[in-house]
Amino acid sequence: MTRRPPSEIPTDHRRAPVRFLGVTEHGLEFDLEVREVQRRASSNDMVKAHIRSMTRGTPLRQDDLYSRETEIALFVRGMHRVDVRINPSGAYSIGHRFHRSLRDAVAEYLDRFAPAPTSGPTP
């Protein structure tokens, strides 16, 4: 599979492939993975499910004990894994930075690792 530039990352995680292999113009290789995972429901979700089951008059279902979540992970080659969060507003965040598109969030994060520009020979 060939590596593509960050400009080809879709703006929305729903249109992103399961695995996107990329390389920046500075030669930094990265992998972006988007997966649907099933996690055990949080205590807050369990309380909500219990209230829903009580109003329906039925016992808790197996589906109420788990929740489906989208997990986005960015692997920078030779460094580490970074989780990209999807906020309730639909924005993407890595650390304290928020962006409206997945492409912008990943590109800004990868720019941190670009080599510093040199201003010519030093005397």
Question: Rounded CA gap, 15 and 18, in Å?
Answer: 9
Domain that holds residue 34: 6-40+73-111
Number of structural domains (the chain) is 1
What's the predicted TM-score (pTM) here?
0.74
Report yes or no on 36 lying in a domain: yes
88 falls within a domain? yes
pLDDT at 115 over 80: no
In this structure, how many other beta carbons lie within 10 angstroms of the beta carbon of residue 117?
A: 5
- Is 90 inside a domain boundary? yes
Please, which residues bridge with residue 34 across strands?
72
- The answer as to whether 48 is a domain residue is no
Q: Residue 17 — very low, low, confident or very high, per pLDDT cuts 50/70/90?
A: confident
45 in a structural domain: no
pLDDT tens column, 68-87: 889 999 999 888 899 999 98
Give the residue-averaged pLDDT of 108-114: 85
> What order do you get walking across the sheet with 92-94 strand by strand?
19-23, 29-40, 66-76, 81-86, 92-94, 97-99
